[in-house]
Amino acid sequence: MTSLLPAGPAAAARPARVPVMREPRPQSRSLKARGLSKVTVLVPEATAEGLRQFARELCRRQETGATPIARQWRRLSPSAELMVDPERGLRCAIRDTGATGSSRYHWTVTVIGETDPVAAGRAAELGEARWRAEAALTGQRAGMSVAPHLGFPVTDND
């Protein structure tokens, strides 16, 4: 067999080829050790990417120890928005029902991990629904009935 590599003194000066071995990966800590949980959720395809981005951001915050500077509304789909307040353990959601008038936007404030809202209401405009949900979240709006055991408004029927 004929070699295509040059022979002679030039070949001897070339360093021998050493296979590159990758360093072994450090063993990753378990999800539980990192304070994470794996969750499977069935959602409409239109909302899936927004939820994936939100999950990646939450994981990044967990790893870096960063906390959000300000709460902000996130659009999950053309008809739904979500805001989470991890300090209070609450989430606000707004859904565009498509109805006309004061029942168009349905908002809720729910304790994370619970199914029943601690506050809910309806509004004609998105900005109004956000304002009412945020006011209920912080519990600072006068004239709202309050659940004494939770310290949060129960309903808003204005």
SS3 of 110-150: EECCCCCEEEEEEECCHHHHHHHHHHHHHCCCCCCCEECCC
Between CA 92 and CA 112 the distance in angstroms is: 10
pLDDT of amino acid 20: 59
Strand partners, 82: 74, 93
Instruction: Place 140 in a pLDDT band, splitting at 50, 70 and 90.
Output: very low
pLDDT of amino acid 55: 82
Between CA 138 and CA 62 the distance in angstroms is: 24
How is residue 84 written in tokens? 């989470």
pLDDT of amino acid 35: 75
How is residue 25 written in tokens? 């990966």
Instruction: Place 143 in a pLDDT band, splitting at 50, 70 and 90.
Output: very low
Asked if pLDDT for residue 12 goes beyond 60, the answer is no
- Helix or strand (DSSP H, E) at 80: strand 80-85
Mean predicted confidence (pLDDT) in 122-136: 92
